[in-house]
Amino acid sequence: MGSIEGILTGFQVAFSLEGILFVMIGVFVGTFIGMLPGLGPISAIAVMIPITFGMDPTPALVMMAGVYYGAIFGGSTSSILLNAPGVSGAVATAFDGYPMAQQGKAGKALAIAAICSFIGGTVSVVLLMLLAPLLSSVAISFGPPAYFALMLMGLTAISSLSEGSTIKALISAVAGFIIVTIGIDAQTGTQRFTFGNVNLLEGLDFLVIALGLFALAEVCTLIIKRKDLSQDTHKLGSMRLSKKDFNEMKGPVTRQSFLGFILGVLPGAGATIASFIAYITEKKISKNPEEFGKGSVKGLAAPETANNAATSGAFVPLLSLGIPGSGTTAVMLGAFLVLGVQPGPLLMTDRPEIFWGIIASMYIGNVFLLVLNLPLIPYFAKILKIPRPLLISLVIMFSIIGVYAISFNTFDLYMLLLFGVVGFLMRIFSFPAPPFILAFILGGMMEQAFRQSLTISNGNLMVFVNDPIAISLLIVALLSFIFPLIRVLRKRKG
């Protein structure tokens, strides 16, 4: 079956009454789950597996795909309104979304997030439909040296995430590196920094740290400082976007739709890394980088576009190669196998209704998400009118439920409290949290890729030079590191 015939088959599946119904259920459940801090699509899809057991695989998988990208779409709501990321891919959304809400522009922030998510998701679905077979071979060509270079390139941007002092940003990043090494070494099986505690053998979950550093740290700030909230912070504000807003969104949305999709295609990258790299990229190329972190439209548009684009991109290695690119797609792979479907190179020819049906359903899903979210913005924003003591209690409750739902381990709740205190102390002493989070995300994958590369080459560092993709990315990383220094020197001379 050719690509055109396959696409038509996919639209037949997606536009059937059953297809539309299951897409609606999937995106509604996903959006709701995404809004709750800590739960995320992994929990939702894991719950769906036993529910869909015995169903026809096509509508069941279409619904689970809807849950996945619906959760990423909805994750921005709690990030913007509460500074409590609903999913890990929405952490970067809080950097500028929450300051906008504090300025009485919650409606505008939620509208920007919804529109950018829709555009990023739709563009990436078009790219997925056109390039899925081709990009599967590109994903395979990324070996450990190329992954190490990609992660290193991401880390060169730590200075861009600093809020004043670069030294403090680097110290924060080093702390992130230290925390990510906790647990059992994947290659040697050696325990590292566990101090004999069995609860630390698997390391610390990303959402435990993210909710601690952002949500609980914000709660601590509200409780201890007891700052008077101006009346504006309770207001929804206008949802209408001006011509200036659209002009500011245009560049980031165009660039990050493509960049997010490409990063999503790479196994192991996913929506979280895509959103951070998108944010960093836009800040680096911006003429006014000082506006980022203070309610910048570009700072909100970039990660929201990229994380939704990456979600669609993550289906390329899953459907074409049977390789999960993230934790969520790993659970999706399990769902495929439970339903008797083997994703991989033969899926396109053997089960075209599933391969193309999932892709085509994303068109409808993104439209449903936009139609669902935009009218509900005034109701979402009512969260801001909740009295502060009750709001603080709700944030704490949702954070605890989200963390406990990940592992059902009370030890994680102690870690949540610990990182909440750490996050609050970091705010007091002006240590930025984003470099800590970025180092934690990239550090583990970077270490693994580096050690795998040396294992392959018997300890020869030339493996990074001989790999054309790796050397290209290393050059970009070097330029990314040098360019800000040159710019600082020019300013001093001027």
> CA separation (Å) from 261 to 253, 274, 281, 293?
12, 8, 15, 24
Say whether pLDDT at 179 is over 90.
yes
Q: Which residues of 281-306 are buried (b: 16+ CB within 10 A; e: fewer)?
A: bbbbebeebebbbebbbbbbbbbbbb
| Nearest-angstrom CA–CA distance, 386 and 409 | 30
pLDDT band at 326; cut points 50, 70, 90: low
Q: Which range has highest mean pLDDT (171-175, 331-335, 435-439, 478-482)?
A: 171-175
First to last CA, the chain: 63
Which DSSP symbol is given to 198? G
Q: Which of 279, 341, 331 is nearest to 304 (CA)?
A: 279
Q: Which of 86, 109, 108 is nearest to 96 (CA)?
A: 109
Mean pLDDT, residues 119-123: 90
Note whether 207 and 36 are within 8 A (CB): no
Say whether pLDDT at 324 is over 60.
yes
Handedness of CA 161, 163, 166, 171 (dihedral sign): negative
| Nearest-angstrom CA–CA distance, 493 and 486 | 11
Say whether pLDDT at 485 is over 70.
no
Give the residue with greater pLDDT, 129 vs 256: 256
Query: What is Dmax (Cα atoms) for the chain?
Result: 71
Lowest mean pLDDT, pick from 16-30, 100-114, 346-360: 346-360
Say whether pLDDT at 305 is over 60.
yes
| Nearest-angstrom CA–CA distance, 127 and 313 | 8
Mean pLDDT, residues 412-439: 89
Report pLDDT digits (tens) over 226-283.
Answer: 654 444 445 666 677 888 888 989 889 999 999 888 888 776 667 888 888 899 888 8
Report pLDDT digits (tens) over 14-49.
Answer: 888 988 999 999 888 888 887 776 666 777 787 777
| Nearest-angstrom CA–CA distance, 94 and 8 | 39
Which amino acid makes up residue 145? P
Lowest mean pLDDT, pick from 24-28, 84-88, 366-370, 424-428: 84-88
Say whether pLDDT at 161 is over 70.
no
* Environment class of 313 (CB within 10 Å of its CB; exposed 0-12, middle 13-18, buried 19+): buried
Mean pLDDT, residues 294-319: 87
pTM, two decimal places: 0.76
- Residue 133 is predicted with a pLDDT of 65
Say whether pLDDT at 291 is over 90.
no
Lowest mean pLDDT, pick from 87-91, 239-243, 251-255, 485-489: 485-489
**Can you state the angle between helices 352-380 and 106-141, rounded to 10 degrees?**
160
Measured in degrees and rounded to the nearest 5, phi and psi for residue 191 equal -80, 135
| Nearest-angstrom CA–CA distance, 304 and 484 | 25
Which DSSP symbol is given to 191? E
Lowest mean pLDDT, pick from 242-251, 288-297, 343-352, 392-401: 343-352
> CA separation (Å) from 119 to 125, 251, 260, 372, 465?
10, 12, 12, 15, 37
Q: Which range has highest mean pLDDT (162-176, 181-195, 318-332)?
A: 181-195
pLDDT band at 136; cut points 50, 70, 90: low
Q: Which range has highest mean pLDDT (71-85, 106-120, 277-291)?
A: 106-120
Say whether pLDDT at 301 is over 50.
yes
Q: Which of 442, 35, 426 is nearest to 213 (CA)?
A: 426
Query: Structure tokens of 68?
Result: 């996945």
